[in-house]
Structure 1
Amino acid sequence: METVYTHGIWVAEILQERTSHLEKFWLTVTLLGDPKAAFLLVFPCTYFISKRTGLAIVWVAAISEWLNLVFKWMLFGERPFWWIGESRLYDKTNQPKVHQFPSTCETGPGSPSGHAMVTAAVWWVVVSSLGSFIYSRTHSWVISGLPYVLYVTLLAAVGISRIFILAHFPHQVIAGWLTGLLLVVTLKSTVPEGRPLLFFLSFSTGLMLSALILNVALQQLGVDIYWSISLAKKWCSRAEWIRLDTAPFSSLTRDCGALVGLGLAQYWKPGGWSLPWAPRALSLAVSSMGLYHVNRLPLPVKPQGLFYSLFFVKFVLVPQIVMVFVPGLVHLLTHKKKKD
C-alpha cells in the first residue's frame, strides 16, 4: 500500500499545483458532495418534483452513509493529510508541496470515500429518474442520456475535489464510486413509501445497534476504534478545522435521525400534501431557508452525548420541515386565498 499512497500524494500535489486557480471551485464541489447535502439540498429539491424520488433520496443516502461507516471501521483507510507525517517517508528536503483546507481534516478513516459513495448512490436516483422521464417524453436515447453525462461529470468533480484537499487518496474515491453504484442498484426498488412508523423506528434502531455492536466487537478484539480521530487532531494544520460533525458517530446519528424523521412525516401526513406547481415552488423556497437555519444551529460539543442527541433531533426535523410543516402551511395559506 505504500506505493499506492505515495502515488496518491503525487496526484494531489499535481492537482494543487496545476489547478490552484480553481481552489474555490473545488471547495464548493466538496461541500456539494458532502453526505449531509443529500438530506439538506438534494432531498427538498427532488421531493417537490417527485415525492417518490425525494423519499428514495433520504432512504439511499442514509443506508449508503451507514454502510460507508461500517466499511471505514473495517478497512482502516489512511487519509493523505495525516499519512504524509505518519509515513516518515518525507523529511524537510523532500516534503510534498501540498497544503490543507478547512474541509480537509475529517476525523473518520478514509476508505472508501463517503463523499464519492453517497454522491454516486444519491445522484444515480436523480439521473435515472430524470432520464426515464425525458425518454417518456422524447423517446430519444441520446437526449435521455444527457443526465448520465452530467452524472459522470459530477462524480469526477467530487472525486477530484476530495483528492485536491487531501481528504482522500484516488483509490479510495474509486472504491466509493463503485460501492455507491452497486448499493443504489440494490436499494432503488426498495423505497419505503407508505411504510408504517414502526418500520422506520425498527430499521433506525437496527442500524444504530448494529453499528454499536460492531464498535464494541472491534474494541474487544483490541482495535483502537478512535485511532483516526487521534491522527486527525495530531496532523491537522489548525485545531478549529477539527469538527465533531465529521466524526463517525455523527454520520450514524444523522442517518438514523433522518430515517425516523421520514417515518414520522409519513405518519403525520400519509401521502403528503397535494400542491399545484406554484405552491410547490414556494414550499421549496421556504423549506430551503428553514433547512439552512436548522443546519446552522450551533450545538454544544460537550458533553458529546448531548451533541449526538441534538444532532439526531436536527435530522429528525429535516423530513418534517420538507414533507409536513412547510407544505402544510403553504396549503393552508393558498387554500384560504382561493376561498377568499
Structure 2
Amino acid sequence: MDLLHSLGVDLTLYLQNNYSNYENIFHLASSLADLHTTFIIFFPVWFHLRQEVGIKLIWVAVIGDWLNLIFKWVLFGERPYWWVHETQFYGAAPPPVLQQFPITCETGPGSPSGHAMGSAGVWYVMVTAVLSVAQERKHSALFLRVMRLGLWTLFCAFVALVCMSRVYVAAHFPHQVISGVISGTIVAEMFSRIRWIYTASLNKYFCTTVFLLCSAVGFYLLLKALDVDLLWTLEKANMWCAHAEWVHMDTTPFASLLRNMGTLFGLGLGLHSPLYVASMKSKSTPFSLGCIITSLSLLQLLNTLSFSSKSTLSFYLLSFFKSAVTPFIVIALVPGSVSVLFRSKREQKYL
C-alpha cells in the first residue's frame, strides 16, 4: 500500500509543480463538487423545473454520502498531507514537501473521496435528466446522439477535473478519487430504478432518517466497543495541517452525517407541508422562475449563518436544523409565499 501511496504523492507533486496556474480552477471544481453546492444551488433549480429530479438529487446525495461515511470507517484511508509525515517508506531521506491549502485539511478518513463520489452521483442524475427531457420532446435521432455524446463528455471532463483538484490539494490519493467516482455512479444508477422515493410518506422519511442516523452511530459505537478508534484522523489533521484554522469541525464525519440527515428530513417535511400542497395549483413558467430566484436568494442568506464549535453538541444540533430548513424553504416556504403573491395579483387584475 505504501508504494501506491507514494505514486499518489508523486502525482500530487507533479500537479502542484506544473499546474499551479490552474489553482483557482481546481478550487472551484472542489467547491462545485461539495454537496453543499448541490443543496443550495442545484436542488432549488431542478426542483422548480422538474420536481422528480430535485427529489432524486437529495436522495442520491444523502444516501451516497452516508455510504461514503461507512466506507471510510471500514477502509481507514490515509490522506496525502499527513501520510508523507508518518510513513517509513522514504527511510532516512526527507519526505516530499506537499503544498497545503485551506481546503486540504479534511478531518475524516480518505477513502473513498466524498467529493468525487458526490459529484459523480449528482452530475449523473443531472445529465440523465437532461437527456430524458430531450427524449420526451422527440428530437431527431442525430440531435439526441450529439447531445448524449456532448453531455457525457462534459460529465467525464468535470468529474476528471474534480479528481485532479482533490489530488492537487493533497486531500486524496488517485485511487481514492477513482473509487469515489465508481461508487457515486453506482448509487445514482441505483436510484434511477427506484420509484417509491417520489411518493414516500412523511412517516417513511422520518423512519429512514432515524434508521440511517442510528445505524451509523450504532456502527461507530460497536467498533468503539471493539477498541477501534474511528476518529483517529482528527488527531492527524490537527497534527499535520499547516494552519490550525484550516481544520474545521464541519468536515468531521458526524457533522456531515447530521447535515445530511437534516436535509433528508427537511425534504420530507417540505413535501408534506400544507404550503407545498397549496402551491401545487400554481405551475406557470413565471411562477417557477420566481421560486428559483427567491429560493436561491434566501439560501444564500441562510448560508451566511454559522455556528460556534465550542460546544460540539450544540454545533451538531444547529447544523441539523439548519440543513432541515434548507429544503423546507425551497419546497414549502417559497412556493407558498410566491403563490399567494401571484394569487393577489390575479385578483387585483380582475377587480
State if a TM-score over 0.5 links the two structures: yes
Task: Tell me the amino acid that sits aligned with residue 118 of structure 2.
Answer: V
Distance 1:49 1:240 in 2: 39
Distance 1:78 1:223 in 2: 16
Aligned to 1:27: 27
Distance 1:286 1:84 in 2: 47
The counterpart of 2:192, out of the listed 182, 188, 191, is 188
2:29 counterpart SS class: helix
Task: Tell me the amino acid that sits aligned with residue 186 of structure 1.
Answer: M
Aligned to 2:78: 78
The counterpart of 2:286, out of the listed 272, 278, 287, is 278
Aligned to 2:125: 125
Kept in 1, the 8 Å contact 2:80–2:170? The answer is: yes
Aligned to 2:57: 57
1:120-155 Cα offsets, whole Å, 9 max, x none, are: 111111100101222333233222332211111111
Task: Tell me the amino acid that sits aligned with residue 130 of structure 1.
Answer: V
Aligned to 2:243: 238
Q: How does 1:14-163 map to 2 (within 5 A)?
A: 14-90=14-90, 94-137=94-137, 138-139=139-140, 140-163=144-167
- TM-score, normalised to structure 2, is 0.93
Distance 1:324 1:53 in 2: 17
Kept in 2, the 8 Å contact 1:194–1:270? The answer is: no
Cα pair distance change 1:91/1:278, threshold 3 Å:
farther
Kept in 1, the 8 Å contact 2:41–2:296? The answer is: yes
Give the CA deviation at 1:90. 4.8
**Deviation larger for 266-275 or 44-53:** 266-275
Give the CA deviation at 1:225. 1.3
Distance 1:290 1:3 in 2: 48
Give the CA deviation at 1:190. 2.2
Report the identity percentage: 36
The counterpart of 2:318, out of the listed 303, 310, 313, is 310
**Deviation larger for 217-226 or 56-65:** 217-226
Give the CA deviation at 1:92. 9.3
Give the CA deviation at 1:26. 0.6
Distance 1:164 1:220 in 2: 37
1:224-272 Cα offsets, whole Å, 9 max, x none, are: 1110111011100000001111000011101111111011011102496
The counterpart of 1:259, out of the listed 258, 264, 279, is 264
**Deviation larger for 305-314 or 220-229:** 220-229
Kept in 1, the 8 Å contact 2:8–2:173? The answer is: yes
Q: How does 1:5-16 map to 2 (within 5 A)?
A: 5-16=5-16
Task: Tell me the amino acid that sits aligned with residue 53 of structure 2.
Answer: T
Aligned to 1:300: 308
RMSD across aligned positions (CA): 1.6
Aligned to 1:226: 231
Distance 2:44 2:301 in 1: 14
Distance 2:91 2:30 in 1: 30
Kept in 2, the 8 Å contact 1:109–1:228? The answer is: yes
Give the CA deviation at 1:335. 1.8
Cα pair distance change 1:182/1:272, threshold 3 Å:
farther
Distance 1:327 1:150 in 2: 32
Aligned to 1:200: 205
Q: Which portions of structure 1, spanning 4 or more consecutive aligned residues, are displaced by more than 6 angstroms?
A: none
- TM-score, normalised to structure 1, is 0.96
Structure 1, unmatched stretches of 5+, are: none
May I ask how many residue pairs the two structures share in their alignment? 340
Aligned to 1:216: 221
Distance 2:156 2:189 in 1: 16
Cα pair distance change 1:164/1:221, threshold 3 Å:
same
Distance 1:254 1:294 in 2: 14
Structure 2, unmatched stretches of 5+, are: none
2:193 counterpart SS class: helix
2:49 counterpart SS class: coil
Cα pair distance change 1:86/1:164, threshold 3 Å:
same
Kept in 1, the 8 Å contact 2:81–2:98? The answer is: no
Task: Tell me the amino acid that sits aligned with residue 98 of structure 1.
Answer: L
